[in-house]
Amino acid sequence: MAAQFKSNVRLREEKGFGSISMKRLIFSGTGAVFLFMGSRMTPFATMSLPILVGSFILLLMLSGSRGGLPLWQRLVLGWRARLLLVASENSTGTASQLVLALNLNTNDTYLRSKDIFQNQKADLRSKDSQWAIYSDVCEARKWEAQQDGKGHSTRLLVVDDFDMPVPDLSGKED
Amino acid sequence: MFEPRTKSKRMTSRRMAPTSHTLLVDPFDIMLHGTSDGLQSLQNRFSLWLRGLTGPARFVTWQLPADLSPRINQVVTSALNTENGQRQALLMEYRRHYERLQSEAEYQRAICGLAFWTERGTSTRALSRGVSAALDTVAIPAKWPALFSGDYYLAAPNRQYTNWHLAPSGEGSHRPFYAMLASYQFQPTIWDFGRPMAQLLRTNFPLALCVDIAKTWTHNEAINEIENVVQAYSVHLATLRGEDSRSLKKVNDCRQTLSELNLGDALHDVQIVIAVAADDLTTLKQRVNHIMDAMKPWFLLRAEIGEAQAQAARFFAAQSTTEIAVPHTTWPVTSRELALLFAPLGYRKLSGLEGTLRGEAAGANYPVFHNSWRDKRATHEVWVGVSGYGKTFALNCLLLRQWAEENVPFTLLEPMGHGAHLAHALNIPWYVMSAQHTCLNPQDVMFPTLVEQKSHTIRLYETLLGRQLSGDQKANQERALLGEALELLYSGFDDWRTITPEIAPLTETVCDVLSGLGDKEHLLRIACDLADEIAGLCTGRGPWAAFVNGPTNMDLSTRNKAQPQVFSFHEMEQDPIMLAIAYTQVLSAIRRDSLSDESPRIIAVDEVYRLMRHPSLLDFLIEAAKTFRTRRKKLVVVDQQMTVFLENKARLVFENCPIRVIFNQRQGLHVFRDDPAFQHFNAQHLDIIANLPRFHYLFDVQDEGIWYLYNRPSDGEYARFSNT
């Protein structure tokens, strides 16, 4: 009747330093060293040590997880969505050009119930089904009135706010 | 990472894409599995089914607050439309009752759905049958309801609500705002069927819960994956100088998971997604915070960010997880853990408001309505329960509700005299069958054909004689002679079907005619002996002469068939033969009337055992049960013990009754254990049946479900019937 849930047994999070996992430390350290090495080959060679420290800290921060997502991913998601919103408001502006360049789609910020919720394969009413779902009681009664005397075994389950469309009354077989 | 696939990839995958199948599943009442053994067995059953998953699957529950206003409106409309003042008064009483129920509780309506993605060729119907068998509840292939209607747009955080959300746009922009929350971490705590899912479903605002099973690992893959983790951690721990309690815990968890996998469980990648709705952003914020805080001890939720907020709505449609562009923060769980995430299936909420109020769900306190007239036929009911547990009270309530709210009249046959309450409540004639005052002529015409009529009258004589007129040579000859006598008498009329009770042949006439039959000496002797036997019992000073030798003096005509009727047999309680004759004649009159129309009516027979103990009357009852059903006459047979309905031919009556109403049966529990008709009852059901308190009962509807109900009366019902 009960179960003790376990930690994420597929995830490796070996202890690193404090609350920072070994994985993040290695990632940030490697990233910072690459930047350090790169900076040594540029005119900023004198700044390479601060770059090493700064990028290490920055990478640690960006890989810090909140809500199950690293900070960089949260930032990307947020910025991208804001860009799409701006682009959707002005289809000729810079934001729109940027959206096109990044191969994004402003339609992703709009949800159309018809597109999302009506592509299910199964029929609402099959020949021997016992239920029908309606958006309101009036629709259910209308259907009952139409079925009067036809001897269907129907259990009416009225779902008010989830906006189920009135079904096809022809009773197609699944 | 979580980007949607590119066009070319999508096209390729569409060719190979698995087919989606959606089902709707009727929640059941977890109270009926309420012992620790019952819940364990439920978990095992769910777990066994989940082990068999091969592809992605999804479980969704939609819940929204509901109230009884459609029912109240319906009652008010009926009250306005009826011309019967008494019904009008009763309807207003029921309106007050529903309003009171509504003011005392918060109701929600919920339905559950399952989706599977399989290879092409798998039948949705076959899947639904598999789910029905595994979860022991009704599952049907059906579209899922839409989470919302109209258009929505992605809205950025603002002062009122600091997370991304979905706002309505276009027409009907008064529609609610939505926020999508996704799980990213399951806490190492104990889950059961009550926590945390039941807590979540106790909220009184619209929400939808999705348990997305993105992947079920094959046995070997899962074991390899976890063994690799154990190995890596072992190396880490071996080289570690200090303490790393989390790694130790992880290794223990991995080993525990391995042990469960080796016992047959499967490993599933699971994510919970919750959609919360509110009319304004301030309320949305409160609701989101409430859910996040309430679920924190069990799993952590994040408000989806940016486009993921819009994409997450697709979890509530039949879209494959791989096509939903959100960060998939799934959590690996074993089948026995995942089984507990299906807990919403065990929390039945307010269902349809059509039909008759059958009671309140025990524990959950939502009213249960059931429409047993919906398929244009009647569905018979068997009621059992020991004395004093509320059978009669509940029957009176049911008859009154059906009469008042659905305009279905009834005929009540009862042997105790408590029919007076109903008769007085409805101000209708109370027909009392009395050994002293009532006369019922066995020759009254009750059947449309002569063969049936003769057979019926012979059955009555069999009852009077206390033996069957068949089985051996002499009995067969007696039957033939009696039949001949009746035929002779009926053929004396131009149209025997128009014979009224005033002119129907009397029993003494039958004896006279019978004594003169027989063309051979031995037949003449048999006829004379039979005539003497019947005459001795039914004429002159015979024990039943006054009862059966005379014209019928009770109105069994069709004049009042649109009105409720109550027949009480308490004044002839001492004599089982008279009682049987009286029951049969009344039932025959009802049967005769039933053939003439298809208007719905309830025929309730209390203490039906008194009828069943006469073999010939039992045959009649079996036949009546079949006839009544097709003519929209609902038979409600009531007795104290279920065993009465399961013995020999009485079982045919039982098998014609798809609705079983079971009050306390402590004395006769063995039948529920042993009889195949009750194999769907588990140990908890039996425990409930043995310990049902007064006015509580199990409402078992074949192919629909089992409800544990409390017959909560309205004030009017209580005032009328409290002393039954």
Shared-domain flag, residues B637 and B508: no
Token code pair at residue B400: 């009154």
Question: Is the pLDDT score of B436 beyond 90?
Answer: no
Cβ of A113 within 8 Å of Cβ of B226? The answer is no
Which residues make Cβ contacts (< 8 Å) with residue B140, sequence separation at least 6? A126, A129, A130, A131, B23, B24, B128
For position A141, what pLDDT does the model report? Answer: 57
- The answer to which of A113-127, B286-300, B409-423, B527-541 has the lowest mean pLDDT is A113-127
Q: How far B695 CA sits from the closest chain A CA (Å)? A: 27
SS3 for B721?
helix
Q: How far A60 CA sits from the closest chain B CA (Å)? A: 20
For position A22, what pLDDT does the model report? Answer: 87
Is B217 an interface residue toward A (CB < 8 Å)?
no
What are the percentages of helix, strand and coil residues in chain A, rounded to 5? 50, 15, 40
Residue at which a domain ends, from B545, B572, B595: B545
Shared-domain flag, residues B16 and B128: yes
Question: Is the pLDDT score of A124 beyond 60?
Answer: no
Find the closest chain A residue to B142 by CA distance: A124
Average pLDDT over residues B26-40: 83
Q: Residues of A with CB below 8 A from B191's CB? A: 2-5
Q: B520 versus B217: which is more confidently predicted?
A: B217
Shared-domain flag, residues B28 and B158: yes
CB distance B31 to B364 below 8 Å: yes
Is B172 an interface residue toward A (CB < 8 Å)?
no
Shared-domain flag, residues B106 and B207: yes
- Give me the residues of A, 6-65, that contact B with CB < 8 A: 6-15, 22
B178 in a structural domain: yes
Confidence of residue B8 (pLDDT cuts 50, 70, 90): very low
Task: Give me the phi and psi of B668, to 5 degrees please.
Answer: -120, 40
Peptide bond preceding B693: is omega within 30 degrees of 0, i.e. cis? no
Shared-domain flag, residues B46 and B143: yes
Note the pLDDT tens digit of each residue in B513-549.
998 888 888 889 999 999 999 999 998 888 888 889 8
Is B329 an interface residue toward A (CB < 8 Å)?
yes
Average pLDDT over residues A67-95: 91
Is A107 an interface residue toward B (CB < 8 Å)?
no
Find the closest chain B residue to A123 by CA distance: B142
Cβ of B140 within 8 Å of Cβ of A130? The answer is yes
State the average pLDDT for chain B.
87
Cβ of A155 within 8 Å of Cβ of B306? The answer is no
Q: Residues of B with CB below 8 A from A118's CB? A: 143, 146
| CA gap B116, B54 in Å, rounded | 10
| CA gap B175, B480 in Å, rounded | 78
Average pLDDT over residues B450-464: 90
Residue at which a domain ends, from B490, B513, B545: B545
Residue A172 carries which side chain, given as an amino acid letter? K
For position B553, what pLDDT does the model report? Answer: 83
Shared-domain flag, residues B198 and B94: yes
Question: Is the pLDDT score of B646 beyond 50?
Answer: yes
Question: Is the pLDDT score of B181 beyond 70?
Answer: yes
Shared-domain flag, residues B541 and B635: no
- The answer to which of A125-134, B139-148, B703-712 has the lowest mean pLDDT is A125-134
Q: Residues of A with CB below 8 A from B64's CB? A: 159-162
Question: Is the pLDDT score of B388 beyond 70?
Answer: yes
Note the pLDDT tens digit of each residue in A143-173.
555 554 443 334 444 444 444 433 333 333 3
- Give me the residues of A, 112-131, that contact B with CB < 8 A: 112-113, 116-126, 129-131
B396 in a structural domain: yes
Find the closest chain A residue to B231 by CA distance: A12
Q: Residues of A with CB below 8 A from B333's CB? A: 5-6
Is B370 an interface residue toward A (CB < 8 Å)?
no
SS3 for B220?
helix
Average pLDDT over residues B350-371: 87
H/E/C letters for each residue in B282-323? HHHHHHHHHHHHHHCCCEEEEECCCHHHHHHHHHHCCCCHHH
| CA gap A76, B363 in Å, rounded | 48
Number of other CB atoms surrounding residue B96 within 10 Å: 15
Shared-domain flag, residues B426 and B497: no
Q: Residues of A with CB below 8 A from B46's CB? A: none
For position B231, what pLDDT does the model report? Answer: 93
Is B336 an interface residue toward A (CB < 8 Å)?
yes
For residue B253, give the nearest of A7, A66, A165 by CB distance: A7
Cβ of B140 within 8 Å of Cβ of A158? The answer is no
Q: Residues of B with CB below 8 A from A149's CB? A: 376
Cβ of A2 within 8 Å of Cβ of B192? The answer is yes
Question: Is the pLDDT score of A127 beyond 60?
Answer: no
Is B320 an interface residue toward A (CB < 8 Å)?
no
Shared-domain flag, residues B486 and B586: no
B626 in a structural domain: yes
Question: Is the pLDDT score of A131 beyond 60?
Answer: no
Is B192 an interface residue toward A (CB < 8 Å)?
yes
Q: B361 versus B377: which is more confidently predicted?
A: B361
Cβ of A110 within 8 Å of Cβ of B153? The answer is yes
Token code pair at residue B494: 């131009």
Cβ of A111 within 8 Å of Cβ of B166? The answer is yes
Average pLDDT over residues B205-218: 94
Q: B625 versus A51: which is more confidently predicted?
A: A51
Shared-domain flag, residues B534 and B558: no
- The answer to which of A73-82, A145-154, B64-73, B74-83 has the lowest mean pLDDT is A145-154
Q: Residues of B with CB below 8 A from A111's CB? A: 151-154, 166, 310, 313
B502 in a structural domain: yes
Q: Residues of B with CB below 8 A from A152's CB? A: 375
Shared-domain flag, residues B515 and B573: no
Residue at which a domain ends, from B545, B580, B604: B545
What CATH number corresponds to the domain at position B397? 3.40.50.300
Work out how many domains chain B is built from and give that number. 3
Shared-domain flag, residues B135 and B259: yes
B394 in a structural domain: yes
| CA gap A83, A95 in Å, rounded | 6
Is A158 an interface residue toward B (CB < 8 Å)?
yes
Note the pLDDT tens digit of each residue in B480-501.
999 999 999 988 887 777 788 8
H/E run at residue A133: strand A131-134
The answer to whether the Cα torsion of B530, B535, B537, B538 is positive or negative is positive
Q: B455 versus A126: which is more confidently predicted?
A: B455
For position B276, what pLDDT does the model report? Answer: 94
B715 in a structural domain: no
Find the closest chain A residue to B150 by CA distance: A113
| CA gap A10, B104 in Å, rounded | 48
Q: Residues of A with CB below 8 A from B352's CB? A: 155-158
For position B494, what pLDDT does the model report? Answer: 78
Is B9 an interface residue toward A (CB < 8 Å)?
no
State how beta strands B565-571 and B430-434 pair: parallel
Is A73 an interface residue toward B (CB < 8 Å)?
yes
H/E/C letters for each residue in B420-469? HHHHHHHCCCEEEEECCCCCCCCCCCCCCCHHHHHHHHHHHHHHHHCCCC
H/E run at residue A30: helix A22-40
Token code pair at residue B182: 């996704």
Task: Tell me the pTM.
Answer: 0.77
Question: Is the pLDDT score of A106 beyond 80?
Answer: yes
Is B376 an interface residue toward A (CB < 8 Å)?
yes
Residue ranges making up the domain that contains B474: 450-545
Q: Any long-range contacts for B524-527 (C-beta under 8 Å, 24+ apart)?
A: B526/B474, B526/B477, B526/B478, B526/B481, B527/B481, B527/B485
